[in-house]
Structure 1
Amino acid sequence: MTVMMLAGASLCAENIRKDLHFKVGKHPTISINNPYGPVVVKAGAAHEISVTAILHSDKVELDQSKSRNRVDIVSHLLPGGDASSGIVEYEILVPPDANLTLHSDNGRIHAEKLQGDLTVVGNSGAIEVVDCSGGHVRLRTLTGPVSLSNVHGDVEVMSVSGDIVMSAVTGSTVAVNSNTGKIEYQGDFAGEGEYAFTSHTGNIEAVAPAYASIDVLARSTNGIVQSDFSLEPKHAPFLVRGANSLSGTLGKAASSVRLFSFSGKIRLKKRQN
């Protein structure tokens, strides 16, 4: 395995560009830890990792290591560096089957067209996952917004106050939790999966087509639960009455849908074609 690095091409008086290239085997493991700045990862050629990093000053540097089929890249501050001078912008191409761990405190993290496992840890920056399938997606953030579009596989999302928006997301397990942020889902709840959306005060809105095949259980302890669907009644593990809970099935009830909140509003909407 070879590692080639072309470094130090200056973009301007402050910015520094570094290009890194790694040869890897099947299903490589890649870790990017970038405290300040965005990380954009897309599927590229098999058996090759290409990294372009733009350093905003000479107060930050990159550490890289490669061991067998694993690549680790860390950007860290040098003496005198801070959150502004320590920004590094990453654009990375990886094999589609790569397993990734990505971290940034305040930068946007974007992952696209990947097929391996994906773990993302953010703070205030946006997290975006687009056109990914086959892997296990784990996302965790404090305040940053989270969006998933056309994602198929097991999905876990945890947020303290960031909003979570999902479009065409399916899997055997889709578990989403936000404390105060809202949770929005648009899709058909396919795959005979288990979909569990939970919030404390944030609202939950799920939009599904009339042909959805779901077994629904929804409850908001101090909020309102509304549904556009005429569900077939079924037994629930709690008393279903008033406007704060519902239980029922639609179609063949192939997928389980659980919507729970302490005080947020829950709305199950029918998609208008």
Structure 2
Amino acid sequence: MKEASFDKLLGIDVGYSLSRPSTGIAWCVGGNVGCAKAHSDWNRRQRHIPASTTFSTIAIDGPLLPPDAPDELDRSCERLFIRGAFHARCKPGLSHHGHGLALRKAAAETAAQVRHLAAAPMIGRSIIPGAAIIEAFPNAFLGVLLENERFAMSRAAKRRKFDWLYDQAVESHVFDRLLDAIGWNNETLLQKVTTERDHEKRAAWICLLTAATAAAGKSEVIGVEASGWFWLPPAELWAPWAADALVENRAAVSASGGAAKLSTVSAIA
């Protein structure tokens, strides 16, 4: 396998507030990393993205489905993470109704905005035809890396769950281990990620790490072509409880008649 390139990566945390800069954007270009916040419209978002760059991988925090998928499509990857141990620790919201559907539409709009910046996919799975754009799921990306003991501590309120997970990841040196596992030796990035306090920027950094993990061919990719995939950390880094929960949930869904709808694949570098 050729050595991974971590140049020209982009991570975007989808935010759709009309009144404040709720979108986090993180990038790595030419070995330099940076992060900023922007509004939801493209005119202002593009000001925070390095100009004249074609990104080898773009990771977006928001539900990404095939362009022709119906609004009411129930996603396999989401169903796997809303039950069992994942439910209280890092579950997604279902994206085929309510707030989840609004986020799905915002993610699709974001993908359309950056489609022209994406290189042709070299990573095995592409939800947007011809574009290296993948779905990040920051809560699960962090959650599966945390040991069981971390969740025995006092937990944050639901709306603060991501920042609680992020703080736990910093304390337990999750980011050091991840960068070592994917072979990205970037001390500046590590320093920025571990000292970040802004919510949207934190989410953008996790999107960037999702893109980097995919670029290294180390992602655990969960889902199906019809409804999209979660791109998560390397399986060898998952805490035992998370690996067990995935097995248990797959068995439960299979027993309920959903076996044909589920698959777990590994990324291809």
Please give the range of the TM-score, normalised by the shorter of the 2 chains.
under 0.3
Q: Which has the higher helix share?
A: 2
TM-score of the aligned structures, taking structure 1 as reference length: 0.22
Higher strand share: 1
Larger radius of gyration: 1
The structure, 1 or 2, with the larger RCO (C-alpha pairs under 8 Å, 6+ apart) is 2
TM-score, L = length of structure 2? 0.23
